[in-house]
Structure formats: C-alpha cells, structure tokens
Structure 1
Amino acid sequence: MVKVRKFKGCLADQENASKIISPPYDVLNTQEAKEMASGNDMCFLRVSKPEIDLPDGTNLYSQEVYDKGRENLLYFRKQGYIKDDSDERMYIYMQKMGEREQYGIVAMASVEDYENGLIKRHELTIKKKEEDRTKLSDTQNANLGPVFLAFQDGEEIEKRMMEIALTEEPYAIVDGHDETQHVLWLCSVDDSEFFQNEFAKIPCTYIADGHHRAASAYNVGRMRREKAAQDGVELSGEEPFNFFMAIHYPESNLKIMDYNRVLKTLNDISNEDFLQKISESYDVSGPLEEGTDPKPTKKNECTLYLGNQWYRLQVKDDKIDKSNLIKQLDSQLLTDLVLSPILGITDLRSDERIDFVGGIRGLDELTKRCHEDSVAAFAMYPVQLQELMEIADAGLIMPPKSTWFEPKPRDGFISRCFD
C-alpha cells in the first residue's frame, strides 16, 4: 500500500497569485520563459527556470544556474511572494479547461514507494533532463512542481475531496493566460488525516506525467540517505527528502490527449508512392471531403495530412501483434509499420526528421506546420488511461511522445521546501 503524507506547503501570496504562478518549467524554452517573466519580478519562472535571470549564453546546466535558483527561491520566501502555511495539511487543486474540471489532492508521495515499484512508471527519462532537475532540487532543497499521479478504487477519497471543493471557500482562484482556471483549497488537518489513512488502502499509484520530477526526487533522496549512512545517522524513513510533492488524481479525473507527429521529409519518396507503401499495412480512405473532421475516432485509426489533403488510415487487423501490449499502441504501430520500414526513422528521441505536436494545439497546428517546415503529419488517436496503467502494471515502457496531459497545474501555486 502507498504512503501519502501531508506537508506544510509554500503557497503563492493570495493577492498576487495571478502574477506568481507560471506554466511548468518543461513546456517553455528559455527564451519563451524570459519573455513571459519580463516586467514581472514575481513570476515563478525565475525560480523554476533561473537561467532567465542570468546573461544570455550561460550554460543551462552550470552550478551558477542552480545557485541562482536557490537565491531566487529564498528571495521569493523573504519577500512573501510565497508563504509558509501554518499547518501540515493536504490541498485540493482544480484546473478547469473549457467545460472539463480536473480535481486532485496535493500531498507528499514516497521515494521508497517509487523505488519499490508501488509508484509505477511507463516512460524512460532523458539522463540530462533528469540530472538537471536533480541538481536544482538538491541545491534549492525543494520540490517546485508536482508529479501527476493517478490512482484507482479511491471512492471515499474522491467523495470527500468533492465535498470540500463544493462547500469550502477556495484559498485562491486564478484565470490562466491559456484560458485555464486554477483553484486551490486548503484541507483541514482532520481531513488531511482522513486522506492519509484512505491512501494507505490504495495498493499503487501511476505516474501520468512528471517522470523526470519523480526520478530527480528519488535521486535526491538516495543521495541524502547515502550521506546519512556515511555520517552514522539513523533514519526513520519519514525525513523530508524521503518524499516528494505530487498531485494524486482519481483516474476518472484524468484525460490523455493525442500526441501527433509531423515529418520534415519523405526521403524523396513521392506522395503517391508514400501512400502506396502505407496501404500495405493500413486501409487508406480519402482524400476526405472538405468540411469532414479529420480527427481519428477510434483505436488503431490515425489520419494523415499529405499534399494539402487529409486521409484516414485504419491498421489492417493482421498487422497487429495482439500478444504484446506495446505493439498494440497506435504510436508503436505507426513506428513499426511506417516510420521505420518506409522512412528509416527508428529513434524518435533523436531523429531530426520527425517532430511532435501536443494535442492541445489542435489539428490546425499540423496543417500549419505542413505549410511551414514539414511535408506530412499524422494525427493520432489518444492513448487511454487504462492502456497506460496496464502497461505500467506489466513493467513495460511506452514509446516516446505517446501521451499528452491537459490541463497542466501551474508551478508556484504551491511548492514544497524541505526545511
């Protein structure tokens, strides 16, 4: 069963929350972050992406950047931009995007559970990104952004969470720049104890998003445990570094969006020959009539934008290896049946001939890219959360760029400092 704990959060100042909270560090590059923070000393990007306060050209992975992150975090606390809560507790965080509301409980998850596989993973991390977040967390002595965790069979947790959200006054409400609303509630100490006890009945949780944050938290915990052992310090297992901040979402509250692909080249293959080669593994229909929605409607279906026209592709049944969970995923089928054999694209992480577009940008972004810097685009059907959990249960790893979660919580609304 998982260990979930309350903690004393560092909360964005109520009156200035809209100036403080910022998108997660990994959805903006340095220049975009610098532009967003321009003219706003309270923008939390100064803490989560501290290189924006250093001269252009600074090595993003230098100790100078991590030290600046610690300096900025301490400054934010000293100025009262973020303030220590009065009690250890849990928090309810809701994001509303359009008509959809997503509720989760912010609490500490266990490094030991991560190590022992009770917090289940489905993605590999990129070593450089993992090292970057490890160094920043260790230097700042803090967790800045939460890991997304999903859980099943927590009806009592979900019931009480919704009762609080519907009856209690929020701590703060912020309308984000992307038309997403963010709302935070403070749970009572008694309710926090209730949640802690109920989570003790949950056998495992699943990382939905935030594999690098989780891995970095584990790394910090491991380093500090090793240091304590060297110093002869006996540990209880409840030390702050043995936990990390996470939002725990009931599985019913999460929705995975499509994660689409654009191709920079067809390797001198003509459009007609490309379609012909695809038709060996997919039933191809189209071009679609103008006004037809090109969005895929079911599993094993994707759509292709090629030559200013959309085509619908359905994987032929005999091409699906139904004995293998990974090979049944649409993203893996596309790689195995099209990208690799036809174009020679085998390493999605490093091959510069392919790029990825999150579903939040819509299919218009795919056609836009094909008129700017690409020659074709594949719109994918979203992975289902049940598929993700089955793959994690089996100890398997999903292909890169398979899942895109929205809406995303903002960094800086609630942070967690070790001391």
Structure 2
Amino acid sequence: MTQIRPFRPYLVTADRAAVVVAPAYDSMVPAERAAFSNDNPSNYINAMRVEEEFSKSDRPSAETLLERNRATVQRLLDDGSFRQYEEEALYIYRLQAGHHVQTAVVAEVPIEEYETGRIRRHEHTRPDHEDRLTRYLEVVGVSSSPVCLAYPESPSINALISKITSRVPELDLLSDDEIRQLVWRVTDEGEIETLQQQFSSVSAAYLTDGHHRTAASSRYSASQCAKGDDKGSGSWKYFLAAMFPASELRILAFNRCVRDLNGLSVQSLVEGIGKHFVVEALSDPEKTTLPCVPGEFTMLIGEFVYRLKVRPESVPEDPVKKLDVSLLQNLILEPLLGITNSRSDVRLDYITGNSGLKGLQQRLSEGWQIAFACFPTSMKELMTVADQGRVMPAKSTCFDPKARSGVFLRFF
C-alpha cells in the first residue's frame, strides 16, 4: 500500500493535554467554536480560527487571522505545552468511546501515494476550502489534524500494535466529551522496520476523514516543487496520517431534515413515497426505533412516524446509486420534496447519527417539517465506491470518534 516514515513531531505534554487538545472541530458550528475559543484561550483550537467565527463588525482579514494562528502555535511552544523528542518515531494513537476502541499508526505518508491513487478518496472537495487550507500551510506552517486513513485488516499489524499498546502510554487523556485518547511512542528500530514492511504489503488505503487537508497538502507540495525546492526528503512531500484498520472504524448515519413539504399534504407525500417504498405507519411513536437494516428509513412528520422499506425492484445495481443516502435523495428528496442540490439547498440540513431520534425531534420542534433517519453507510460500501474511482453523495458518512487536533504538531 504505502510507505510510512517515522518523524519528530511535537507531542502535547501530559500535564497540559487536558487544556490544550481541541474538541472535535467539525462537530462544532462557527459560533460554538468562537465561544469555546474565547472561554479556553490555551486550547489549540485558537490556532485554527477562521473568519466565520467573528461577527462582521469585528472580523479580521484572513491574513491577519493566519498570523494570529501562527502566534498562538508559537505561544503554546513557548509555554511548554508541547515537547519534541530527539529520536524519530512512529506513534500509536488510540481513541476510545465507551466500549468502542480504534487504534491507529501515526506517521508521515508520501503525498505521492495520494496523487497516484494508492490512497483512495470517496468525496469531492471544494476549491475554496482547499485554498484556505493551502494558505494555512504556507503561513502557519504546521499540521496538527491527522488525515485519517483506513486499511484492510492485517493480523500481523494488529499483533505488533497489541504488543506495543501493552506498555505504559506516553499520553492518557479523557476529554470532556468522554473520549479517551492514548499515545505510545515507537522508537525501537526493529518495530519501526517491521511496521514499515507490513504497511508496504497492504493493498490500498482509504481516506475516511481529511479529504480537503490531503488535497491542500498536495497543492502545497506542488507549489514547493514549482519553486525548485524538490529535495526528496522534504517534509512537504509528506502529510500527517493516522492509519486505522477498517474493521475498527465506526460510521454513524448522517440523517436529513427538510424545511417544508414542497406544497404537498402528508397524505400525498406518503402516497408518492409508496411507489418505491413499503410504508408502515407506526401507531406508537414512543416505540420508534432507528433503521435496523440497509434500505430502511424512519420518517418523522409532525406527530406522525413511518417506517419506510425500499422495494427491491427500486434499488439499482450501481454502487453509488444503491447507497441508502442516494435512494433517499433520488426517490424522495428530489422528485417529491424538490431538493435538487443536496450540497447547497437551504431547505435541507443534516444531523449526525449520534443525536439519535431526539436530534430529529428537536429539529421538528424548531420548525423543520420532516426528518429522515438513515441506516449508516458501511466501510464495505465506501471501499467499493473508492475502488472504482467514484465519489459518494454529500454527507454519506460520519466517522466517530475523530482524531483530535493539538496532540501532534508537525512542522514543514
């Protein structure tokens, strides 16, 4: 699959980790990030500020913010929040949420692996987001959010990781959201070489979180090459990655809610849905459950709750079109509710699966008219789509828990 390279990051110190390590960035809206930043000035989230977090009357320019972000990183280095070890190492990074455990190898991975397709993607990226992240690398010059990759199960890698994690960790942190994070340093040359050999035999890796960061790293690397800085060992030819076995990753659903019924009555909407789904009205909303199998949806409209089961003849063979999120979009949201662009239509919003049915009911209480709970996309579906060089619809996957910023600092 890929080469992995040991490196010398700055690692957050154990006594400062609880204060410095950032919460899950993408799970917060700009206003929440702004409030958290103001309340927690020593948190690494202050090194990732963006314009949207400020009111228009008090909004600094993008370049001013980048300089502030760089100054924040330097302040955290100066106050002893991070330390750098002398020897290069690989790192083992574990995330634990309740009974769920996932463990990654953290290393530098060549950009070339991404550019040649050995690291496979499943999402489109937005050029404006790439622009912002590329400029961040140019000005701030640091990466702290590992790109997350999934690789097919490898018993030999698992065995060595199990041996390493039997030791006392370098870092053991329980964050406010009850996510436990543990880090082990791997400095033994034999173990490093073995892990490198094992990963070189893995067939492919799959981007699960960090499509925009990887694309920005690729652009930054290309710009350095264009400047003639083409040394093979240059750190900008690599990106910071956390590689998890695919079997350990947890994917939550991305549920949908719609602002209105597009002029339809509840009865006419249900009749329209019935062309492609078996529709069952649930008599006791208190016993409503989330979908249990692929092709099943729970639909909430006011006080009414329905279970929808797609008819087999309505499921295409195409690996993208047969995804549950595609079935919902192509058979209900677009033809019946008029949602033609699932990325930009303001009448459509998304709710992560960890909020459950209560999250959907909350949206209805806020004025949204209809909500759909989906069955989560599987890793097998993701890998099938990525292997074909295809992309999934917007908000097809929600990986949880996510790697956090402020654990590792990797400078360019």
Same fold (TM over 0.5): yes
* Equivalent of 2:360 in 338, 355, 366: 366
Residue by residue over 1:171-219, the C-alpha shift from the partner in whole angstroms, topping out at 9 and shown as x without a partner, is 1211111111111111224222321221111222100111111111111
Query: Secondary structure at the residue paired with 1:96?
Result: strand
The 5-angstrom pairing of residues 1-12 of structure 1 reads: 1-12=1-12
CA contact (8 A) 2:50 2:65 kept: yes
**Equivalences for residues 21-100 of structure 1 within 5 A:** 21-49=21-49, 57=57, 62-100=62-100
* Cα contact 2:151–2:204 (8 A) shared by 1: yes
Instruction: Tell me, yes or no, if structure 1 residue 178 matches structure 2 residue 177.
Output: yes
Q: Which residue of structure 1 lines up, in the alignment, with residue 270 of structure 2? A: 275
2:341 matches 1:347: yes
Pairing 1:254-273 to 2, within 5 Å after superposition: 254-273=249-268
Q: Give the share of equivalent positions with the same residue, in percent.
A: 29
* Contact 1:48–1:144, Cα closer than 8 Å, also in 2: no
1:330 and 2:324 aligned: yes
**Aligned-CA RMSD value:** 1.8
SS of the equivalent of 1:36 reads: helix
Are the aligned partners of 1:23 and 1:409 in contact in 2 as well (CA < 8 Å)?
Answer: no
1:269 counterpart letter in structure 2: L
What is aligned with 1:15? Answer: 15
In the alignment, the residues of structure 1 paired with residue 393 and residue 52 of structure 2 have an alpha-carbon distance, to the nearest angstrom, of 32
Match of 2:231 in 1: 235
Q: Once the 2 structures are TM-superposed, how far is the Cα of residue 73 of structure 1 from its aligned partner? A: 1.2
Is the counterpart of residue 295 in structure 1 residue 295 in structure 2? no
CA offsets 1:364-388 (integer angstroms, 9 cap, x no match): 1001111113011000000000110
| Alignment pair present for 1:314 and 2:313 | no
CA distance in 2, matches of 1:54, 1:297: 41
CA distance in 2, matches of 1:387, 1:281: 22
Kindly state the Cα deviation for residue 288 of structure 1 after the two structures are TM-superposed: 4.4
Letter in structure 2 aligned against 1:119: I
State which of 389, 398, 403 in structure 2 corresponds to 1:395: 389
Gaps (5+ residues) in structure 1?
none
Q: Counterpart of 1:102? A: 102
* Residue 168 (structure 1) aligned with residue 163 (structure 2): no
Return closer, same or farther for 1:371/1:234 CA change in 2, 3 Å cut-off.
closer
Q: How does 1:147-162 map to 2 (within 5 A)?
A: 147-162=147-162
The answer as to whether partners of 1:30 and 1:49 remain within 8 angstroms in 2 is no
Q: Residues 50 and 265 (structure 1 numbering): CA distance in 2 closer, same or farther, change over 3 Å?
A: closer
Letter of the 1:143 partner, please give it. S
Structure 2 CA distance for aligned equivalents of residues 281 and 158 of structure 1: 43
1:10/1:84 contact within 8 Å kept: yes
Q: Residue 245 of structure 1 is aligned with which of 234, 240, 246?
A: 240
**Does the residue aligned with 2:16 lie in a helix, a strand or coil?**
helix
Work out whether 1:200 is the aligned partner of 2:200: yes
- In the aligned structure 1, how far is the partner of 2:222 from the partner of 2:361? 46
> Partner of 1:38: helix, strand, or coil?
helix
User: Is residue 2:408 matched to residue 1:414?
Assistant: yes
Shift of 1:276: 1.0
Structure 1 pair 52–326 and aligned structure 2 pair: CA distance change class (3 A): closer
| Distance in structure 1 (CA, Å) of the matches to 2:304 and 2:55 | 45
> Cα distance 1:60–1:273, how it changes in 2: closer, same or farther (>3 A)?
farther
Greater CA deviation, 48-57 or 266-275?
48-57
- The answer to whether the Cα contact below 8 Å between 1:106 and 1:245 also exists between their aligned partners in 2 is yes
Question: TM-score by structure 1 length?
Answer: 0.94
What is the distance in 1 between the residues matched to 2:208 and 2:18?
Answer: 26
Which secondary structure does the structure 1 equivalent of 2:321 belong to?
Answer: helix
Structure 1 counterpart SS, 2:334 = helix
Alignment TM-score, normalising by the size of structure 2: 0.95
For residue 251 of structure 1, what is the amino acid of its counterpart?
A
Partner of 2:243, secondary structure, is: strand
Write the letter of the residue equivalent to 1:139.
V
Q: What's the CA shift string for 1:266-321, capped at 9, x where partnerless?
A: 12211111111111111101224244242101111111011222211011111111
User: Does 52-61 or 129-138 show the bigger shift?
Assistant: 52-61
